[in-house]
Amino acid sequence: MIVDRPGSHFIFVVPFDHVHRGYNYINLNGIPLTNKEYLECWGKWLVFGQRDEMEELARKLDLFVENRKVPAVKYDRKLITEFQLNRCVMCVYCHTESREDVWTVLSSLNLKDKAWMFERETMEKWLPGGVNLEKWISGRNLGSQQAKLVRKSAQEKFRELFKDENAIFTGIVQ
Amino acid sequence: MNITVTLNLLGIPLLDVKQSRMTLTVEEKMTMADLIDLIDQRNPGFKQVISDEDGNISKQFVFFINGRNISYMKGMNSELSQDDVVNVIPAIAGG
């Protein structure tokens, strides 16, 4: 089902059971991933397009998400102008072991441009010194003290989230 | 022997290139570094835009060969093969 909360930058496509019955789509063969497994194995195919293209693709992917051929999808509600991207980005999530199966689904929908990214890579971009966090800081013209606090907060948040590598990964609020 | 490869610049507005998608005929076993030099010859300034202050390829961009991040391969020394598709995306994407 498509989850469109106006307060969020992202629009999600997740299984109905995830929203209403506590189903955890971050799994491999039905077994939820630990924090360690999440960082090592979970990732996404990146798809670029205009907002209307994203919407159309999301509608098509919804069926595959409900059938659990594709675990989950999220895409940009609008262009992130401060990041100087000229396309919206869609993330089509899955475990690395099933990524070619998921790509087969995507290619059946005429997608051709392959770009796979692990979630760990994304996390690292939001840590101090990471491309995303530093760009976010500079985009807001934060003073050095504020920037330092933001970096410290990002580091602590990451540490807290993944401190128990054997715990089941519980997700990140977005 | 020459091979054909495709290069796509995805979601990147700042690169002053003539096309965001190009098919190139290049020498077999050309590396990613060689490919960037070739594109720079055809689109002067390309390399400078994607490089950092030290002249290395900037971390602001991520390169993929057939969907695989080249940092998991041989980086800029990764060799290209017939029909390879090289995608370049802004590192900021997907976060």
pLDDT score at A92: 98
With 90 as the cut, is the pLDDT of residue B49 above it? no
- Tally the domains of chain A: 1
- Inform me whether the C-beta atom of residue A158 falls under 8 Å from chain B C-beta atoms: no
Closest approach of chain A CAs to the CA of B4, in angstroms?
16
Determine, yes or no, domain membership for A56: yes
* Nearest chain B residue to A136, by CA: B92
Task: With CB atoms and an 8 Å threshold, state whether A126 touches B95.
Answer: yes
How is residue A162 written in tokens? 């993944």
Task: With CB atoms and an 8 Å threshold, state whether A116 touches B92.
Answer: no
Work out the percent of chain B whose per-residue pLDDT is above 90.
52
Does this complex have an ipTM over 0.95? no
Chain B residues within 8 A of A48 when measuring between CB atoms: 10-11, 89, 93
Would you report the helix, strand and coil content of chain A in percent, each value rounded to 5?
Answer: 45, 20, 35
Determine, yes or no, domain membership for A139: no
For A87, the closest of B10, B66, B87 (CB atoms) is B10
Determine, yes or no, domain membership for A14: yes
Task: With CB atoms and an 8 Å threshold, state whether B95 touches A114.
Answer: no
For B18-30, what is each residue's pLDDT tens digit? 567 889 999 998 9
Structural domain range at position A71: 2-118
For B13, the closest of A44, A84, A91 (CB atoms) is A84
Sorting pLDDT into bands at 50, 70 and 90, what band is B46?
A: confident
Unique residue bearing structure tokens 């907002």: A51
pLDDT score at A84: 67
Q: What is the CATH number of the domain that holds B24?
A: 3.10.20.30
DSSP labels, B44-90 = TTHHHHTB-TTSSBPTTEEEEETBEEGGGTTGGGPBP-TT-EEEEEE
- Tally the domains of chain B: 1
Determine, yes or no, domain membership for A123: no
Q: A7: phi > 0 → left, psi -120 to 50 → alpha, else beta; which? A: alpha
Question: For the residues B70-88, what does the mean pLDDT come to?
Answer: 95
Residue B60 near residue B90 (C-beta atoms within 8 A)? yes
pLDDT score at A139: 84
For A115, the closest of B13, B14, B89 (CB atoms) is B89
Residues of chain A with pLDDT under 50: none
Determine, yes or no, domain membership for B95: no
Determine, yes or no, domain membership for A99: yes
pLDDT score at B81: 96
- Inform me whether the C-beta atom of residue B11 falls under 8 Å from chain A C-beta atoms: yes
Residue B34 near residue B74 (C-beta atoms within 8 A)? no
pTM of the model as a whole: 0.91
- Across chain B, mean pLDDT equals 88
Determine, yes or no, domain membership for B22: yes
With 90 as the cut, is the pLDDT of residue B11 above it? no
**Three-state SS at A38:** helix
- Inform me whether the C-beta atom of residue A93 falls under 8 Å from chain B C-beta atoms: no
Determine, yes or no, domain membership for B53: yes
Structural domain range at position B70: 2-90
Determine, yes or no, domain membership for B31: yes
Q: Strand pairing partners for A128? A: none
pLDDT score at B44: 86
For A93-111, what is each residue's pLDDT tens digit? 999 999 999 999 999 999 9
The terminus-to-terminus CA distance of chain B in angstroms comes to 40
How is residue A134 written in tokens? 């530093």
Determine, yes or no, domain membership for B61: yes
